[in-house]
């Protein structure tokens, strides 16, 4: 077979091989291996042109593994022998001692000086620079015109394949980005819980750019959902809502972020800002609804207590008014504790201490109040009932008891026990009145418990109910 026929076959086989895939990395790898094989070269280096950086970046090699390099070699057009071929849009062939050529550029992680000859050609797509490639041999070698023409022809043909592969890679990257943003949008729209939305955003961020870690930092400095670990490169992107910064998206990785990845992270940061405001709006709505519900229930309780007070015979108007004020203040204390902590449960020890301080205000000196309060949590609705019960029993002890009143709150065998003990005269045969009627009804209907009144060197009023 003559040289022309052999070169035509090599050209055809090389083009067929690189056209067999649209994966850019695979295309470049095939170019490097097939070109080296076609020209019986020891090595082949394929560079792609980065138009934004105006640099030729080594993307594939045959004879040296580019993956093992800590930093990919880069050339500006006109720099080095390959860069000079790219800038001049013409091949450069050096038969021997290529490393002594004044245009030669040494890279510490690229052993090009072990090769004697070099043949470098530009990769042009419609006269536009797309990259450059070179073949190297360890022994001196004069490249014939036919070999130079073959490499130029191969470079010309693979230019279009490379352009198609780059477009395909860009399309794949956009699909990847859109899928990531779609997952975030879905998580934000479906979840009513802010924590779930923020967790989904952080996890999707890590997966989208292969990050080592990510987190959302809120405007008050609180860190929401930190995941992973810090990396050598950290990127901080502001979360903006209506021209106001409400936080930051922090992303860490061991390698630097590309411009495309920065753009994707900016889009994710925008979604995170929307999720944050969406979640806060939902929480504000839920909180407002809960407060409305609590206020409505409290007002209904106040109305019921006032009606009960109004039906009592032979009432002292001043005392009835004072009692009603204390009951309303007790309800307000429960509401305050619930609102302060934004929780559904109330710490009874904290609540009772608030009520004790409220009821002893203005008392004449000489009254001694002792307390031993265990840590007990109770749901808001039941806490309101217990607060009213406590105010009635404690008020009676202050008014009718002796000099000492003791408050005990404890739990035992799944039950809560609240006791008010005074050293006064005890029941003296009477256990009636509007206050005690209210206590009995609340203990029975709201707490599902029992009220015990015993004379023990005074009066021991004890309420026991399931925890």
153-168 confidence digits (pLDDT tens) = 888 887 877 777 777 7
Average pLDDT in the 88-102 region?
Answer: 92
CA distance 439 to 391: 9
Q: Is 155 in contact with 119 (CB distance < 8 Å)?
A: no
pLDDT score at 287: 45
Residue 46 CA to residue 122 CA, distance in Å, equals: 10
- Taking only Cα atoms into account, the Rg of the chain, rounded to an integer number of angstroms, comes to 41
Strand partners, 251: 214, 235
Tell me which residue of 236, 210, 233 sits closest to 223, measured CA to CA.
236
Residue 186 has pLDDT above 90, yes or no: no
Question: Between 193 and 56, whose confidence is greater?
Answer: 56
HSE-CB at 447 with a 13 A cutoff on CA atoms is 28
pLDDT score, position 346: 76
Of all residues in the chain, the percent with pLDDT exceeding 90 is 11
Adjacent-strand bridge partners of 119: 93, 135
Higher pLDDT, 421 or 108: 421
The answer to whether the CB of 386 falls within 8 A of the CB of 348 is yes
3-state secondary structure of 125: strand
Of 87-91, 200-204, 311-315, the one with minimum mean pLDDT is 311-315
Of residues 263 and 313, more confidently modeled:
263
Mean pLDDT of 233-237: 88
Region 250-273 average pLDDT: 84
CA torsion through residues 7, 13, 16, 17, sign: negative
**Could you name the CATH architecture of 178-282?**
2-Layer Sandwich (3.30)
pLDDT of residue 114: 84
* C-alpha–C-alpha distance, residues 190 and 193, integer Å: 9
pLDDT higher at 115 or 467: 115
pLDDT tens digits, one per residue of 365-420: 567 888 888 888 877 667 777 877 887 788 778 777 778 888 888 888 888 888 88
Alpha-carbon distance of 150 to 169, in angstroms, equals 28
The angle that helices 348-359 and 380-400 make with each other, rounded to 10 degrees, is 40
Residue 376 and residue 382: Cα distance in Å, rounded?
12
- Cβ–Cβ < 8 Å for 41, 136: yes
Q: What would the two tokens of residue 207 be?
A: 């997966």
Return the higher-pLDDT residue of 260 and 134: 134
Split at pLDDT 50, 70, 90, the class of 199 is: confident
Highest mean pLDDT of the ranges 27-31, 249-253, 332-336? 249-253
316-332 per-position pLDDT tens digit: 667 666 666 666 666 66
Q: What is the pTM of this model?
A: 0.44
| Closest to 406 in 3D by CA, of 368, 375, 436, 443 | 368
Start-to-end Cα distance in the chain: 97
| CATH architecture group of domain 3-170 | 2-Layer Sandwich (3.30)
**CA nearest neighbour of 381 among 437, 440, 324, 335:** 335
Average pLDDT of span 336-346? 58
Confidence at residue 78, expressed as pLDDT on a 0 to 100 scale = 93
Cα distance between residue 421 and residue 462, in whole Å? 8
d(CA 284, CA 93): 73
- Pairing verdict, β 368-373 and 404-412: parallel
69-78 pLDDT, tens per residue? 556 788 899 9
* pLDDT score recorded for residue 365: 57
Average pLDDT over residues 262-278: 79
The residues spanned by each domain of the chain are 3-170, 178-282, 312-466
Q: What is the mean pLDDT of residues 74-98?
A: 92
Average model confidence (pLDDT) for the chain?
77
Identical fold, 3-170 and 178-282: yes
C-alpha to C-alpha distance for 283 and 279, rounded to whole angstroms: 6
Kindly provide the b/e burial profile for residues 340-353, where b requires at least 16 CB atoms within 10 angstroms of the residue's own CB: eeeeeebbbbbbbe
Dihedral sign from CA coordinates of 143, 149, 153, 159: positive
Provide the token pair at 399: 């008014």
Token look-up 């230019």 returns 159
Q: Compute the C-alpha angle 374/409/467, nearest 5°.
A: 85
* Cα atoms found within 13 Å of the Cα of residue 172, Cβ hemisphere only: 9
Q: Which of 57, 23, 260 is nearest to 164 (CA)?
A: 23
pLDDT at 81: 93
Q: Flag whether pLDDT at 217 surpasses 90.
A: no
CATH number attached to the domain at 312-466: 3.30.565.10
């Amino acid at each position: 077979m003559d040289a022309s026929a052999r070169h035509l076959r090599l050209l055809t086989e090389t083009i067929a091989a690189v056209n067999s895939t649209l994966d850019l990395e695979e295309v470049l790898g095939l170019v490097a291996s097939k070109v080296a094989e076609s020209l019986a070269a020891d090595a082949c280096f394929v560079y792609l042109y980065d138009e934004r950086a105006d640099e030729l970046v080594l993307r594939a090699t045959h004879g040296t593994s580019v993956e093992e390099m800590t930093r990919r070699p880069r050339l500006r057009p006109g720099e080095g022998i390959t860069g000079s071929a790219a800038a001049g849009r013409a091949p450069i062939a050096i038969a021997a001692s290529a490393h002594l050529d004044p245009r030669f550029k040494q890279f510490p992680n690229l052993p090009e000086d072990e090769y004697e000859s070099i043949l470098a050609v530009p990769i042009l797509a419609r006269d536009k620079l797309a990259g450059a490639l070179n073949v190297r041999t360890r022994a001196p070698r004069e490249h014939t015109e036919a070999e130079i023409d073959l490499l130029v022809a191969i470079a010309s043909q693979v230019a279009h394949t490379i352009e198609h592969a780059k477009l395909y890679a860009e399309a794949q990257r956009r699909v990847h980005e859109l899928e990531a943003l779609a997952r975030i949008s879905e998580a934000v729209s479906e979840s009513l819980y802010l924590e779930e939305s923020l967790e989904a955003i952080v996890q999707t961020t890590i997966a989208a750019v292969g990050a080592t870690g990510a987190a959302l930092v809120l405007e008050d400095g609180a860190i929401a959902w930190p995941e992973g670990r810090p990396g050598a490169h950290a990127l901080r992107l502001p979360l903006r809502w209506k021209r106001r910064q409400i936080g930051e998206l922090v992303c860490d990785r061991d390698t630097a972020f590309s411009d495309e990845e920065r753009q994707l992270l900016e889009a994710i940061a925008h979604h995170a800002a929307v999720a944050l405001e969406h979640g806060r709006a939902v929480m504000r709505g839920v909180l407002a609804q809960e407060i409305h519900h609590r206020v409505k229930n409290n007002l209904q309780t106040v109305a019921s207590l006032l009606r009960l007070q109004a039906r009592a015979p032979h009432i002292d108007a001043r005392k009835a008014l004072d009692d009603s004020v204390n009951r309303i203040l007790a309800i307000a204390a429960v509401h305050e504790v619930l609102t302060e902590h934004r929780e559904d449960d109330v710490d009874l020890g904290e609540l009772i201490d608030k009520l004790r301080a409220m009821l002893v205000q203005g008392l004449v000196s000489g009254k001694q109040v002792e307390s031993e309060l265990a840590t007990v949590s109770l749901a808001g609705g039941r806490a309101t009932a217990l607060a009213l019960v406590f105010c009635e029993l404690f008020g009676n002890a202050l008014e009718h008891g002796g000099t000492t009143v003791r408050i005990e709150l404890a739990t035992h065998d799944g039950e809560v026990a609240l006791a008010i003990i005074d050293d006064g005269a005890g029941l003296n045969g009477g256990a009636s009145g509007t206050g005690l009627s209210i206590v009995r009804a609340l203990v029975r209907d709201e707490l599902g418990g029992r009220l015990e009144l015993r004379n023990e060197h005074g009066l021991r009023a004890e309420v026991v109910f399931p925890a």
